[in-house]
Amino acid sequence: SNSLLWFRRDLRAFDHAALHRALTSSNCVHCVFVYDSDILDPLPRDDRRVRFIHASLASLDAELRRLGGYLIVRQGRPLEVIPSLAAELACDAVWVCADYEPDAVERDARMAALLAAQGRKFLSVKDQVVFDSGEVLTLAGGPFSVFTPYKKAWLKRLAAQPEALAAYPVDAHADAFAAPAGPARLPTLAQLGFAEGPLPAAAGMEGAADLFERFLARLPDYGRARDFPAEDASSRLSVHLRFGTTSVRHLVRSARELQDSGAGGSGATVWLSELVWREFYMMILARHPQVVARAFKPAFDTLAWDEGAAADALFAAWCEGRTGYPLVDAGMAQLNHTGFMHNRLRMVTASFLTKDLGIDWRRGERYFALKLNDYELASNNGGWQWAASTGCDAQPWFRIFNPVTQSQRFDAQGDFIREWVPALARLGAKEIHAPWLLAPALLAERAVVLGRDYPLPVVEHDAARRRTLERFGRLKKTQ
């Protein structure tokens, strides 16, 4: 029997659940990736993520060829391309790794129906997560809505079912790959209509493996260092997890080995917990797809966010990193220049937009979606709703980040700010967090003119904080 493996966000040829299953259940496996024109057409031509996918496909094709197979790459609408390719190659089944985003779920349901009408099977298997939204449940059998008990249940399930981390080998079953008809002919970026340019990270399976290897050396200190944006503490694997150039089972296995051997220090435990956050938000999105457009807590859907020309001007200042709050502006500059933002700064900038500027979290969420290399609907939506206090966190809405104390605490020396806001590079560690409070003589000495070299604050934090307390307070009263 022939099968078609349709790669989507699982761009690797090792520890791959669907590929393993296809190879072990058919005689001849063809592999395809489709550049989905409905997703690509609206993107800016200079998109780092498309470049990352493009480079990762070259590495995937090379690895498949090393194993005796090859990758077919098409451009178009998957709902048209896949059924016609399956017919052309006489495949009885199309295999995929399950995707839990609402649009993907809908597309896959339509695909299954189209293929069924042709007499073919559509086989979707879990791969993107260790446990999907139906596997970690409360005692009453429902989904969790708070992270800590979810994490406890997740870890308990893993202890009871260690085979959830079993690898799905590919190379041992490589004789079932369909052999290539000729040399590689993948489309160039120009043929796809996209610009060449820098990659967000070394792409492909080798890029992920290299990052992970280097991260393991830093892992023991991760628990302490992860909150400080000036330190190179986190793994930077998010873009690889997004596009599946690494396997989450492989990452969890390695973290647990280090945890068990004691070599990972407390870092391994903290890092594992971040991977569980990823699955928590994927579960929330799968179980509550309405969060894409609405507050997780319906009571917060009627919050009256600021709108109009003044709010638009503040939003533009936030996007462009000109709020006058150095740590916020440094985070936005990192995002705008690299497509990455440190987790602490995602929290600080999201809190600033919603709680200091009074702007709807959905606007910030959309901006991040446009810019982030690792953009993941579930984590981005979860992170934004967490920051806006409309989501499923245990933190009450009246706890509001202070952008100056966050800066003093998490960038105490000002190193991160100096890197991303060069206008403030001459300010010292004590001066850089709130330059508008400095004496004019000191500013003159440092050759910084506020309002010219660097903006004055667009809002005053204490007043903004009071407005936010009122905004949320009004809501409570009307409940």
Name the residues annotated as catalytic: 274, 277, 305, 343, 361, 384
Buried b or exposed e, range 329-361, using 16+ CB within 10 angstroms? bbbbbbbeeebbbbbbbbbbbbbbbbbbbbbbb
Report if residue 384 touches ligand FAD, rule: CB under 6 A: yes
Task: List all residues 6 or more positions away from 216 whose beta carbon is below 8 Å from its beta carbon.
Answer: 254, 258
Residue nearest to ligand FAD (CB): 383
Task: List all residues 6 or more positions away from 169 whose beta carbon is below 8 Å from its beta carbon.
Answer: 14, 15, 20
Say how many C-beta atoms besides its own lie within 10 A of residue 365's C-beta.
22
12, 30, 49, 346: which one binds ligand FAD (CB under 6 A): 346
Say how many C-beta atoms besides its own lie within 10 A of residue 287's C-beta.
15
| Closer of 332 and 347 to ligand FAD (Cβ) | 347
What's the 3-state SS for 352-400?
HHHHHCCCCHHHHHHHHHHHCCCCCHHHHHHHHHHHHCCCCCCCCCCCC
Report if residue 383 touches ligand FAD, rule: CB under 6 A: yes
- Given a contact cutoff of 8 angstroms between Cβ atoms, the answer to whether 128 and 244 are in contact is yes
| Closer of 249 and 346 to ligand FAD (Cβ) | 346
| Closer of 15 and 376 to ligand FAD (Cβ) | 376
35, 296, 352, 368: which one binds ligand FAD (CB under 6 A): 368
Report if residue 380 touches ligand FAD, rule: CB under 6 A: yes
2, 336, 343, 408: which one binds ligand FAD (CB under 6 A): 343
Beta strands in 10-125, from DSSP E residues, in sequence order? 28-36, 71-76, 93-97, 121-125
Report if residue 327 touches ligand FAD, rule: CB under 6 A: no
| Closer of 72 and 275 to ligand FAD (Cβ) | 275
Which range binds ligand FAD by CB under 6 A, 237-245, 421-429, 458-466, 467-475?
237-245
Report if residue 275 touches ligand FAD, rule: CB under 6 A: yes
- For residue 26, CA distances in Å to 94, 125, 175, 185, 385 come to 11, 16, 10, 26, 44
Distance between CA atoms of residues 96 and 418, nearest Å? 46
- Given a contact cutoff of 8 angstroms between Cβ atoms, the answer to whether 1 and 90 are in contact is no
Type of residue found at 319? C
In the complex, minimum distance from the CB of residue 410 to ligand FAD, in angstroms, rounded to a whole number: 13
> At residue 475, what are phi and psi to the nearest 5 degrees?
-65, -45
Which range binds ligand FAD by CB under 6 A, 272-280, 397-405, 442-450, 453-461?
272-280
Report if residue 410 touches ligand FAD, rule: CB under 6 A: no
Type of residue found at 150? Y
Identify the CA nearest to 351 among candidates 269, 287, 406: 406
17, 34, 158, 347: which one binds ligand FAD (CB under 6 A): 347
Report if residue 226 touches ligand FAD, rule: CB under 6 A: yes
Binding mask 89-128 for ligand FAD (x = CB under 6 A): ----------------------------------------
Question: What are the tokens at 440?
Answer: 């004019």
| Closer of 70 and 154 to ligand FAD (Cβ) | 154
What is the size of the binding site for ligand FAD (CB under 6 A)? 26
In the complex, minimum distance from the CB of residue 59 to ligand FAD, in angstroms, rounded to a whole number: 19
26, 133, 145, 238: which one binds ligand FAD (CB under 6 A): 238
56, 124, 133, 234: which one binds ligand FAD (CB under 6 A): 234
317, 350, 421, 458: which one binds ligand FAD (CB under 6 A): 350
- Could you list the residues that contact ligand FAD (CB under 6 A)? 226, 234-238, 241, 274-275, 277-278, 281, 343, 346-347, 350, 368, 372, 374-376, 379-380, 383-384, 387
